[in-house]
Amino acid sequence: MASMVMFCATAISYIALRSRYRRRVPRSEWIQRFIDDGVTTLNIFTSSECETFMSELEKIIEHRTSIKPEFTPPTSLEKMKQSAKTITDMLSSTNGTGGVMDIHLDPFLDFIRTSPKIWFYIRELWKETYGCSENVVDFPPKFNADFDSGYVKLDRVCYRFPTFPSPSKKSFNKSQPTRCLLPHIDTCPTLNINGNVESFYRPIQCFLALTDTILKDKGGFEAGLGMHKSFNIWGTKLESSSKIGCAGNYIGIREKVICEKINHVTIKAGDIVIWDERIPHATSKLNLGGVRGAIYLSYLPDCDINREFKRREWEGWKEGKIWYGETGGDGVWAERKGWVGEGGRKVDYEWEVGVKELLGVGCF
Ligand SMILES: O=C(O)CCC(=O)C(=O)O
Ligand SMILES: [Fe+2]
């Protein structure tokens, strides 16, 4: 068993990747930004690569919904609205909030998730923060995790439609499937502070931006820079004053003093956007312009709780279930979309040899 775990965890040779990517990156600058702000970006894919990635994502959407994603004129506003509604109904268990779509399983997503480049940078950052032997003061290590190896949890994608004007033209239609993600964190403060978690340990969150969100109202990411440093104070207060409290690993933030500190983060297509789990974040209210695309990437350092999570993810997967983090206790293992295939037939998904290790598929 131990050797199987070792095999799974060290499948991609860190040493080989280190010499390949280290010299090309202004390493200290982006890591320092993370240490100071709790948020950083690193541009690692070209805009033409991102155009290809975006069209791959659109192909998946078209394949699953039979709707061709076309959200710019000359497509008529009526047609865009109708397509957005159908795609949302078919693919989003969050009712389109933030453009989050339940697409977890696809060779294209595996290709991105197991990108050696991204995996390399994530581990660099882990090791300079939570995994640093000199103990960077604002990043307390937990769970005896090995930050030199780990896994990637299945996660969703963002395909956020433009904000369509309401018929009155004076405002925007609140019921349309393009609402924002309200301020929140994806960790429960007291559990986190006491060195505990609900289901898995993900100290650093990440997504790959497929489109630019340079300007504020383009549907992009917003964050409260530097707030990881005072998390133990505001996080505890937040939880004790919240009417609803934590829903699994999630807690919404309505406190004005915290919300006011959440601001737009400028992001270019091809950036990996990385933030500490203690940073309050949101998406912008409006998305004026084109579609926003992103791929969420949840990397988990190697530790008991994460191996257990990956084991359950795999067990759930075999039963046609997928983990959704929104409510209580152990999270929700819901019937995964895409499980029922054409003609109601159950379809399975073939994992590519070579991605299984990082995905932890069948390892535990
Ligand atoms: O899409 C975004 O900008 C943020 C998504 C988010 O809140 C998350 O991944 O936890
Ligand atoms: Fe979040």
Helix (H) or strand (E) holding 80: helix 77-91
Q: Which pLDDT band, with edges at 50, 70 and 90, does 354 fall under?
A: low
Ligand 1: which of 184, 205, 272, 297 to mutate, most ligand atoms within 8 Å of CB? 205
pTM for the structure as a whole: 0.88
| DSSP output for 22-79 | GGGS-HHHHHHHHHHHSEEEEE-S-HHHHHHHHHHHHHHHHHHHS-----STTS-HHH
Torsion region of 143: left, alpha or beta (phi above 0 gives left; psi -120 to 50 gives alpha): left
- C-alpha pair distances (Å), 359 with each of 284, 297, 352: 31, 11, 10
Residues 6+ apart with CB under 8 A from 314: 360, 361, 362, 363, 364
- Two tokens, residue 193: 């502070």
Nearest CA to ligand 1 atom 9: 296
- Of the listed ligands, the closest to the CA of 155 is 1
Query: Which of 160, 187, 281, 287 to mutate to test ligand 1, by most ligand atoms within 8 A of the CB atom?
Result: 281
The whole-angstrom separation of Cα 161 and Cα 286 is 10
Write the CB contacts of 172 (distance below 8 Å, at least 6 apart in sequence).
163, 164, 165, 166, 286
Average pLDDT over residues 179-198: 88
Kindly give the number of the ligand 1 atom that is closest to the alpha carbon of 100.
1
Alpha-helix runs per DSSP H in 242-303: 256-259
Q: Which-ligand-closest: CA of 293?
A: 1
CA of 3 to the centre of ligand 1 (A): 35
Q: For residue 98, give the ligand 1 atom closest to its CA.
A: 1
pLDDT exceeds cutoff 60 at 174: no
Dihedral sign (CA 71, 76, 77, 82): negative
- Predicted pLDDT at 261: 97
Mean pLDDT check: name the lowest of 33-42, 210-219, 240-249, 254-263: 240-249
CA dihedral 293, 299, 305, 309 (to 10 degrees): 50
Distance 364 CA to ligand 1 centre (A): 29
Q: Among 250, 283, 291, 295, which residue has the most ligand 1 atoms within 8 Å of its CB, making it the best to mutate?
A: 283
Mean pLDDT in residue range 29-58? 97
In the 8-state DSSP scheme, what is residue 151?
E
> Which ligand has the shortest distance to the CA of 296?
1
**Structural domains for the chain:** 2-359 (2.60.120.620)
Confidence of residue 25 (pLDDT cuts 50, 70, 90): very low
Residue 180: predicted pLDDT:
86
Ligand 1, CB cutoff 6 Å, lining residues: 98, 158, 181, 186, 205, 207, 221, 281, 283, 294, 296
* AA letter at 37: D
